Amino acid sequence: MKKGFNDTLLRAARGEKTDHVPVWYMRQAGRSQPEYRKIKEKYSLFEITHQPELCAYVTRLPVEQYDVDAAILYKDIMSPLPALGVDVEIKAGVGPVISNPIRSLKDVEKLGEIHPEVDVPYVLDTIKLLTTEQLSVPLIGFAGAPFTLASYMIEGGPSKNYNKTKAFMYAEPEAWFALMDKLADMTITYVKSQITAGVKAVQIFDSWVGALNVADYRHFIKPVMHRIFSELREENVPLIMFGVGASHLALEWNDLPLDVVGLDWRLPVMKARELGVTKAVQGNLDPAILLAPWEVIEARAKEILDQGMQKPGYIFNLGHGVFPDVKPETLKRLTTLIHEYSKNN
């Protein structure tokens, strides 16, 4: 690693003692930054990711502005899907919209496979640019997990209840497991290419898997997640798992061959450990609190830090992504608080 490289996050992810609690924020690059909003007046998300210099700039902005302990690659979980033949468009104010949703086993069988050097070379070029020249902190790569990707592919876009997805899962188990396998193959290949290009840690976003109960997770999802993490484990980088509204799955994740269990704001860090989570933990300030007065933010952050610091293996983050109306100076002030408070306690 480079001289002066800050590897605090990597050490915390491995459960080692660190001088301070490392911190990064989901969606730290993007919507809350005026520089980013200016870029978005000219370019769409996909257009930004297709320009490595510009994408690298957006990715490293929060590191320069907030002094966080990691950068996360600026892209979307939808980025690899066009390679499979999925016709996806990110629509402003709506999110990903897919015009050829999955309805049958035949639709699943039509899906292709990803060849990252051919299909997403711009992603790999951005990683190389950041990790060889621009960053003194780890770059986190990421991918969407099969359930969350499948939910968009089956629903045709965002959903509040995932009824079509769950109905497909229950009614078409053969097609469901075939889809899980296709998406697992893609995830493994895609993430391995990011690691080869230079990312130092990986987060898998199963954003919407909290829609399932534990029994269904164990039957329909856990085997494919075990395969993904088992194969990625060979790459020897920290692996982080995260979902929203998935507190009831924390022990299931703890059971997988990964390094860090990401928590949203619903499950306190101390409670997760009392339940039996033994892996490193990441989380979990409710992002809505960032819109509260500073005294409230400070008190809540210290409360979470006090719980997290009770044992090694803790990374501070939010319980979900930064909102567009959060002020950059709030994130900078919060980062300083986390570093100073954790150094002195």
* DSSP calls for 52-73: HHHHHHHHHHHHHHH--S-EE-
For the chain, how long is the longest CA-to-CA vector? 59
Distance CA 96, CA 276 (A): 36
Cβ neighbors of 290 (< 8 A, separation 6 or more) are 297, 318, 322, 323, 326, 330, 331, 334
Distance CA 266, CA 17 (A): 26
Confidence (pLDDT) at 31 = 84
Confidence (pLDDT) at 193 = 98
- Name the DSSP class of 316: E
Kindly give the parts of the chain with pLDDT less than 50. none
> How many CA within 13 A on the CB side of residue 212?
26
Confidence (pLDDT) at 4 = 83
Confidence (pLDDT) at 1 = 57
Domains identified in the chain and CATH numbers:
8-344 (3.20.20.210)
- Tokens, residue 170: 């229950």
- Tokens, residue 6: 């800050």
> What is the residue whose two structure tokens read 């998406």?
183
Helix (H/G/I), strand (E/B), else coil: 225: helix
Amino acid at the residue 258 = L
The model's pTM is: 0.97
